[in-house]
């Protein structure tokens, strides 16, 4: 005697089988994404750290195929708009991940995606595994793009440019977090719509304005009060590169910027020192200026 299941139960059983198969496949490669914090100032480096965990029990070769890039990101705005990459056609070296091993990549998303509007963005990392003919994605993570409050600005020309003027707008911005205020510097050519850099220079005390001097080559020198009796000096070029950084103590004489007779700038007073390592769990942890994250080609 045959027994027939009700149609509804059969459908539910089918869905459970499909869900179980999908869950089993997804468990073979786990992808996670992390950011140092949730809030970023527009144009500053937005560094995503992606971890790929091979749980398949066999070696995994990750490489591009004819129609798939093996590594990429999916970004949506708060209203669900897909944010396409600036360059969708890029080459990427293959990577091998042994069974039980992890592969970690840090990628600066700022030069790769046009995140030029304030608001929340949901970011997922995706990995295509040809062995399973499918994508594996991380859970979405939200980051917010905002901007700081301008506290100083100057427009200068690039020295030695005899043709059309090449102007740089230099802006200092303050950005208040819940427990501290951060200082940023942005260098851009507004006429051509090009941003050369937006650097976070670290904490500063708002009761004292940062000192700014330009040297004979219009390079930027900044001295900020980071903590009581502690200061940070930063020297930047007009293309946004960090030339030097040094911390100073107020050892009986407060450090200050001075311009010498030839137009050079130096720090007078104070005593140089090497600050201790900041708490990595602090919301205001500064990204190391020497970090060089692995970018996607074309950045």
Q: Give the chain's radius of gyration (CA, Å).
A: 25
Is 193 part of a structural domain of the chain? yes
Pair (175, 255) in one structural domain: yes
Taking the C-alpha atoms of residue 195 and residue 124, their distance in angstroms, rounded to an integer, is: 25
Residue 208 pLDDT level (bands cut at 50, 70, 90): confident
Pair (165, 100) in one structural domain: no
Is 18 part of a structural domain of the chain? no
**What CATH number is attached to the domain comprising 60?**
2.60.40.2970
The neighbour count for residue 127, using CB atoms within 10 Å, is 24
Q: Which domain covers residue 129, as residue numbers? A: 27-145
What are the pLDDT digits (tens) for 215-269?
999 999 999 999 999 999 999 999 999 999 999 999 889 999 999 999 999 999 9
Is 280 part of a structural domain of the chain? no
Q: Of 96, 115, 145, which residue sits at a domain end?
A: 145
Is 99 part of a structural domain of the chain? yes
Q: Of 106, 129, 145, which residue sits at a domain end?
A: 145
Taking the C-alpha atoms of residue 150 and residue 175, their distance in angstroms, rounded to an integer, is: 9
According to the model, what pLDDT value does residue 45 have?
A: 93
In this predicted structure, the answer to whether residue 290 has a pLDDT above a threshold of 90 is no
Pair (162, 112) in one structural domain: no
Pair (187, 267) in one structural domain: yes
Pair (168, 59) in one structural domain: no
Pair (49, 67) in one structural domain: yes
Q: Which residue has the higher pLDDT, 89 or 189?
A: 189
Is 294 part of a structural domain of the chain? no
Pair (197, 243) in one structural domain: yes
Pair (104, 139) in one structural domain: yes
According to the model, what pLDDT value does residue 276 have?
A: 72
What are the pLDDT digits (tens) for 10-36?
433 343 333 444 444 456 899 999 999
What are the pLDDT digits (tens) for 25-80?
456 899 999 999 999 999 999 999 999 999 999 999 999 987 889 999 999 999 99
Quote the mean pLDDT of the chain. 84
Pair (113, 181) in one structural domain: no
Is 75 part of a structural domain of the chain? yes
Number of domains composing the chain: 2
Pair (175, 201) in one structural domain: yes
Instruction: Read off the pTM.
Output: 0.76
3-state secondary structure the chain: CCCCCCHHHHHHHHHHHHHHHHHHHHCCEEEEEECCCCEEECCCCCEEEEEEEECCCCCEEECCCCCCCCEEEEEEECCCCECCCCCCCCCCCCEEECCCCEEEEEEECCCCCCCCCCEEEEEEEEEEECCCCEEEECCCEEEEEECCEEEEEEEEECCCCCCCCCEEEEEEEEEECCCCEEEEEEEEECCCCEEEEEEEEEECCCCCCCEEEECCCCCEEEEEEEECCEEEEEEECCCCCEEEEEEEECCCCCCEEEECCCCCEEEECCEEECCCCCCCCCCCCCCCCCCCCCCCCCC
Pair (163, 218) in one structural domain: yes
What are the pLDDT digits (tens) for 132-172?
999 999 999 999 999 999 999 999 999 876 667 889 999 99
| Least confidently predicted of 88-92, 139-143, 207-211, 287-291 | 287-291
Is 156 part of a structural domain of the chain? yes
Helix (H, G, I), strand (E, B) or coil at 64: coil
According to the model, what pLDDT value does residue 161 have?
A: 67
Pair (185, 214) in one structural domain: yes
Is 153 part of a structural domain of the chain? yes
């Amino acid at each position: 005697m045959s027994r027939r299941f009700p149609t509804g139960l059969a459908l539910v059983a089918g869905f459970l089988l499909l869900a179980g198969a999908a869950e089993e496949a997804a468990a073979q490669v786990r992808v996670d994404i992390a950011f140092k914090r949730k809030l970023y100032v527009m144009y500053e480096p937005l560094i995503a750290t992606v971890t790929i965990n091979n749980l398949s029990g066999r070696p995994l070769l990750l490489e591009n195929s004819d129609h798939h890039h093996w590594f990429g990101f999916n970004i949506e705005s708060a209203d669900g708009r897909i944010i396409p990459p600036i360059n969708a056609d890029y080459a990427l070296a293959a990577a091998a991940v042994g069974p039980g091993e992890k592969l970690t990549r840090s990628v600066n998303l700022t030069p790769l995606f046009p995140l030029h509007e304030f608001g929340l963005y949901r970011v997922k990392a995706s990995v295509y595994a040809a062995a399973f003919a499918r994508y594996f994605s991380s859970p979405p993570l939200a980051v917010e793009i905002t901007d700081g409050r301008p506290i100083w600005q100057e427009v200068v020309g690039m020295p030695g440019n005899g043709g059309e003027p090449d102007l740089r707008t230099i802006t200092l911005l303050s950005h208040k977090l819940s427990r501290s205020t951060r200082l940023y510097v942005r260098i851009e050519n507004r006429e051509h719509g090009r941003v050369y850099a937006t650097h976070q220079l670290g904490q500063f005390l708002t009761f004292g304005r940062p000192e700014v001097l330009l040297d004979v080559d219009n390079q930027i020198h900044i001295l900020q009060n980071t903590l009581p009796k502690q200061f940070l000096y930063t020297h930047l070029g007009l293309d946004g590169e960090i030339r030097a950084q040094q911390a100073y103590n107020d050892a009986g004489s407060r450090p200050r910027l001075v311009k010498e007779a030839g137009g050079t700038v130096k720090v007078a007073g104070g005593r140089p020192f090497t600050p201790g390592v900041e708490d990595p769990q602090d919301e205001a942890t500064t990204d190391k200026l020497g970090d060089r994250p692995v970018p996607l080609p074309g950045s």
